[in-house]
C-alpha cells in the first residue's frame, strides 16, 4: 500500500492491515501466484481493507460495480471535502494540474499515450462515444455484434441503421464455447457478410463471463478491413492484457468495476492516428484534433476522477496477477464442484483463457428471465446467497455469479451447497 493510502487510513481511524505489496514482485512464479490464490489468510487481510457486506449475506453479485477499498474511500472523501471547501478556487485553478497527473496514471496503467485517452462517466459512455461517433461508415455498409454484447451497446449498434444507413448483423456465439469455435463463429459471420465494416467485440461478457480470443478475432477482422470497437468494461482489473497487444484501435473501459474507483469514472481509448475517425462532440468546435473533443460531459465529478489515482495505488499494491488468479480460483471452486451435475448447466468453459472470475449457470429447462429471477430469489431467500439473473444468451437467460476480493472460499462453498439442495 502506498504511503498516501496508509495516511488516509490512519486519518480515518480505521484499524485494518495493510495490503501485501505484491506489485514489488512482478516476476513472481506462476506456481507461487497459484498458491497465493488459495491462501485464505492472505486474502482475509485484503478483504479486511473493504467494508464487509451485511451480516449473514454471501455477496456474489460484485459485477455491477466494485466497492472502493477503505483507503480509496477515505482518500476520495478527503478530495471531496477539498472540492467542497475550496470550490472554484480549486476547480478553476490547480485541479487541472491534478487531473493531468491522474490521466497520466491511467495511461500508464493501460500502456498507452496520455493523448490517446479521455475520461468518461463509465464504460457505457465510452462505448457509445465510439459507436455513435465512428464516421467512416457509408450507406450500404454493414455492422456486426453478438448476443453476449452489452444491452445498450447492442441498442447503439442497431441505431446505426437509422443514423448511418447501414445494415445490422447479429450473431449468436456458441454455447458451449471453445477457443476455435468462437474464432470460427466470427470468421463465418464476416465471410457471409463481406459488407461488414464495423464490429462490436466484448472482451469479457457481463452475461456469462466468456472471454473470446480477442487478439485473434481482431486480427481476422483487420485482415478483412473491419474496424473493431472493443468493450473492456469488465476486463480491466480482472484480466491481464494491454491494448497494444490486443491489436485494437478503439476501446471503452471502466474504472469503477475491477479497479475500484469511485462510481462514475470510465475511459475511452482511441489510437492517436485514429482520433479523426471518431466525430467531434456537437458541443465542441469542429475540427478539434484532440481526443478530449470527442467527449463532452460538462462538469465532472472532480473528487471521483482524482481518487482514481488512489484506486490504482491500491490495485497495484494487491497486484493484477494475484487478483486475476484469485478470481479464477474462486470461480473454479464452485464450477468444478457443480460441472456435470444433473440439472445444472455451466455456461462458461473451463479453458482459463476463456474466463476470469465471472461465470453464469442455468438450471436445466429454465430459460426465461422470470424463471431465472425465481432461481436468484430462491438462492437469496432460502440460502442468503446474492446473485443476479441475466438475459441475452441465445439459448436462454441465466444466473450470474461474480465473486470479488471480499469473498472467501467458504462463500463459494455456500453457493455449491445451495445449488445442490435446489437440484436434489
DSSP 8-state class, residue 169 = E
Query: Does residue 176 have a cis bond before it (omega within 30 degrees)?
Result: yes
Cβ distance 334 to 132 under 8 Å?
Answer: no
Q: Does residue 268 lie in a domain region?
A: yes
pLDDT digits (tens, 9 = 90+) for 197-240: 999 999 999 999 999 999 999 999 999 999 999 999 999 999 99
Model confidence at 4: pLDDT above 70:
no
DSSP 8-state class, residue 149 = S
CA angle 126, 249, 224 (to 5 degrees): 120
CA distance 282 to 288: 11
Cβ distance 319 to 22 under 8 Å?
Answer: yes
Cβ distance 385 to 416 under 8 Å?
Answer: no
- Of 278, 295, 312, which marks where a domain is finished? 312
Within this chain, do residues 333 and 277 fall inside the same structural domain, yes or no?
no
Within this chain, do residues 343 and 298 fall inside the same structural domain, yes or no?
no
Cβ distance 419 to 399 under 8 Å?
Answer: no
CA distance 214 to 316: 24
Q: Does residue 63 lie in a domain region?
A: no
Mean pLDDT (the chain) is 94
Rounded to 10°, the helix 320-338/409-422 angle is 20
Model confidence at 15: pLDDT above 70:
no
What is the per-residue pLDDT for 352? 96
Model confidence at 12: pLDDT above 60:
no
pLDDT digits (tens, 9 = 90+) for 362-405: 999 999 999 999 999 999 999 999 999 999 999 999 999 999 99
The per-residue DSSP string of 79-115 comes to: HHHHHHHHTHHHHTTTHHHHHHHHHHHHHHHHTS-GG
Q: Does residue 194 lie in a domain region?
A: yes
pLDDT digits (tens, 9 = 90+) for 51-64: 999 999 999 999 99
Domain of 341 in residue numbering reads as 321-422
**C-beta atoms surrounding 83 within 10 Å:** 17
Tell me the sheet residues that pair with 252.
Answer: 231, 268
Within this chain, do residues 349 and 228 fall inside the same structural domain, yes or no?
no
What is the number of domains present in the chain? 2
- Of 278, 312, 346, which marks where a domain is finished? 312
Output the nine-digit C-alpha cell for 378. 430462491
pTM for this predicted structure: 0.93
Tell me the sheet residues that pair with 119.
Answer: 267
What is the per-residue pLDDT for 27? 57
CA distance 198 to 322: 35
Model confidence at 289: pLDDT above 80:
yes
Q: Phi-psi bin for 397: left (phi > 0), alpha (psi -120 to 50), beta?
A: beta
Output the nine-digit C-alpha cell for 206. 457481463
Amino acid at each position: 500500500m502506498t504511503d498516501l493510502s496508509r495516511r488516509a487510513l490512519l486519518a480515518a481511524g480505521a484499524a485494518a492491515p495493510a495490503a501485501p505489496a505484491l506489485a514489488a514482485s512482478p516476476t513472481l512464479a506462476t506456481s507461487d501466484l497459484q498458491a497465493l490464490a488459495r491462501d485464505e489468510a492472505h486474502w482475509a487481510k485484503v478483504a479486511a481493507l473493504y467494508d464487509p457486506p451485511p451480516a449473514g449475506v454471501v455477496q456474489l453479485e460484485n459485477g455491477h460495480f466494485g466497492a472502493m477499498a477503505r483507503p480509496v474511500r477515505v482518500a476520495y472523501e478527503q478530495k471531496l471535502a477539498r472540492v467542497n471547501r475550496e470550490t472554484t478556487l480549486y476547480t478553476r485553478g490547480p485541479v487541472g494540474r491534478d487531473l493531468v497527473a491522474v490521466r497520466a496514471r491511467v495511461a500508464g496503467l493501460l500502456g498507452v499515450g496520455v493523448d490517446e485517452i479521455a475520461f468518461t462517466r463509465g464504460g457505457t459512455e465510452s462505448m457509445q462515444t465510439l459507436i455513435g461517433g465512428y464516421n467512416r461508415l457509408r450507406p450500404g455498409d454493414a455492422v456486426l455484434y453478438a448476443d453476449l454484447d452489452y444491452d445498450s451497446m447492442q441498442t447503439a449498434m442497431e441505431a446505426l441503421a437509422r443514423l448511418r444507413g447501414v445494415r445490422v448483423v447479429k450473431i449468436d456465439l456458441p454455447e458451449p464455447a471453445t477457443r476455435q469455435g468462437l474464432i470460427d463463429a466470427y470468421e463465418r459471420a464476416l465471410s457471409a457478410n463481406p459488407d461488414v465494416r464495423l464490429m462490436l467485440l466484448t472482451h469479457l461478457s457481463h452475461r456469462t463471463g466468456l472471454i473470446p480470443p480477442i487478439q485473434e478475432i481482431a486480427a481476422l477482422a483487420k485482415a478483412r478491413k473491419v474496424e473493431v470497437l472493443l468493450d473492456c468494461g469488465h476486463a480491466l482489473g480482472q484480466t491481464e492484457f494491454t491494448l497494444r497487444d490486443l491489436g485494437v484501435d478503439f476501446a471503452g473501459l471502466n474504472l469503477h468495476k475491477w479497479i475500484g474507483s469511485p462510481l462514475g469514472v470510465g475511459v475511452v481509448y482511441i489510437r492517436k492516428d485514429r482520433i479523426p475517425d471518431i466525430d467531434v462532440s456537437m458541443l465542441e468546435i469542429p475540427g478539434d484534433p484532440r481526443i478530449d473533443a470527442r467527449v463532452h460531459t460538462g462538469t465532472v465529478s472532480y473528487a471521483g476522477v482524482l481518487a482514481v489515482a488512489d484506486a490504482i495505488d491500491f490495485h497495484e499494491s494487491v497486484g493484477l496477477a494475484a487478483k486475476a488468479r484469485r478470481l479464477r480460483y474462486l470461480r473454479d471452486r464452485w464450477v468444478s464442484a457443480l460441472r456435470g451435475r444433473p440439472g445444472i448447466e455451466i455456461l462458461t468453459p473451463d479453458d482459463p483463457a476463456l474466463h476470469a472470475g465471472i461465470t453464469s449457470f442455468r438450471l436445466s429447462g429454465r430459460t426465461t428471465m422470470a424463471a431465472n429471477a425465481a432461481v436468484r430469489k430462491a438462492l437469496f431467500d432460502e440460502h442468503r446467497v446474492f446473485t443476479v439473473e441475466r438475459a441475452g444468451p441465445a439459448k436462454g437467460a441465466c444466473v450470474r455469479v461474480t465473486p470479488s476480493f471480499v469473498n472467501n472460499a467458504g462463500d463459494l462453498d455456500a453457493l455449491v451447497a445451495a445449488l445442490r439442495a435446489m437440484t436434489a
